[in-house]
Amino acid sequence: MINSFFWVDVTFWLYLTSCAFYVLHGFFYKNETLGILGTVTAILGVAINTLALGYRAYEAGHAPFSNLYESMLLFTWATVIGYLMMEFKYKLRIIGTFVMSIVFFSILTIVWLLPYRYQNIDPLNPALQSLWLEIHVMTTFIGYAAFAISFGISIMYLIKNSVEKGGNREGNLKGFFARFPDLNILDELNYKSIAWGFPFLTIGIITGAVWANYAWGTYWSWDPKETWSAIVWLIYAGYLHARVTHGWRGVKTAIFAIIGFLSIIFLYWGVSFILPGLHAYA
């Protein structure tokens, strides 16, 4: 039977294939075809990802943002679109090896690792039936996607940096690393991704507050999810200030961005499973 699970599976295989092509292209860079195949499967994947989300919405009768399974699909969707936009603009396909790996691991977690009960379509609890919620989730996940990209780029930065410092180790891997973009380009792209993520995370937090105010009469109640979103926000505000007012660059900002994304993973998964609070559903 064709249902949203089927389309999610197709998405999974396409992202896996795309990821493989990007990695192969990283090693056999002279073969342009591999890179093009990577991009094409990524585009196909995101198209089917869209279809899966649409199908899910159709089956559930509401926007598909109400549980972890659905929001992860939104995360992969936004990350791939964000990455493709970047590839289109800067033509730095090697970044795809990292970003598509993140995307692949994300979809792997929900298809294979997430317990089945989290995949169910649940009727919406009354508080969740709001347009504000939909805007809140959309913008938040665009923000998460941008931060995920900055995470990938930061890792590339650290690898390239240590390889350049480490001098003359030879071999295939070295050639692979050598093809990473220049350090200052990686640094600038890292900032650029956070410059996308930060406003969207901000809008996400604000629309969440508007929604809470409409549902409960309090725009901010310090529940763990809200508080952690503020912590993450402060970390990235710290990144921006360190960069703009103290001229931090390179390794320091890369580490900062990695800490930022780890705190997002905690905000997204950790808070829901470890800490008690209102946002238990997503």
Partner 1 sequence: MGEEKVEEKTAAGKGIWETIEDKFIEIFSSPKLAIFIFIILAVLSVFGTVIEQNREPSMYIAAYGEKWYGVIKGFGLTDIYHSWYFSLTLMLLSVNLSVCFFRRLPPKWRLIKDKTVVMAEDAILRQKNNAKLNHNISLQDIKGAVSGLLKKKGYKVITAETGSDVSIFARRGAIGRIGSDITHVGLLIIFLGAIMGSFLGFKGFATIFEGETKSIPNTDFALRVDKFWIEYYDDYKPKDFFSTLTVIDKGKEVFQKTIEVNDPLKYKGVWFYQSSYGQAWDMITKARLYVYDRKSGKFVSEVLTDFGKETDVPNTNLKLKVVGFVADFYYDPASKEVFSKSMEHNNPAMQIEIYEKGVLKTAPWVFSKYPEAFLDKSTKYFIEAAGYQSPQYTGLSIARDPGVNIVWVGSTLLTLGLFLSFFVIHKRIWIKIVDKNNKVDIYVGGNANKNKINFDKDFANLVNELDKIGR
Binding residues for ligand HEM (CB under 6 A)? 237, 240-241, 244-245
CB of 60 to partner 1, least distance (A): 12
Of 205, 108, 196, residue with least CA distance to 153: 196
CB of 63 to ligand HEM, least distance (A): 29
CA dihedral 84, 186, 28, 38 (to 10 degrees): -10
CB of 134 to ligand HEM, least distance (A): 25
Nearest-Å Rg of the Cα atoms of the chain is 19
User: Which CB sits closer to ligand HEM, 134 or 226?
Assistant: 226
What residues numbered 140-169 form the site for partner 1, per CB under 8 A? none
User: Which CB sits closer to partner 1, 20 or 128?
Assistant: 128
202: contact with partner 1 by CB under 8 A: yes
What residues numbered 221-260 form the site for partner 1, per CB under 8 A? 222, 224, 227-228, 230-231, 234-235, 237-238, 241-242, 244-246
User: Which CB sits closer to partner 1, 88 or 222?
Assistant: 222
**CA pair distance 239, 131, nearest whole angstrom:** 32
Tell me which residues touch partner 1 (CB under 8 A): 90, 123-127, 129-130, 185, 188-189, 192, 195-196, 198-199, 202-203, 206, 209-210, 213-220, 222, 224, 227-228, 230-231, 234-235, 237-238, 241-242, 244-246, 271, 275-276
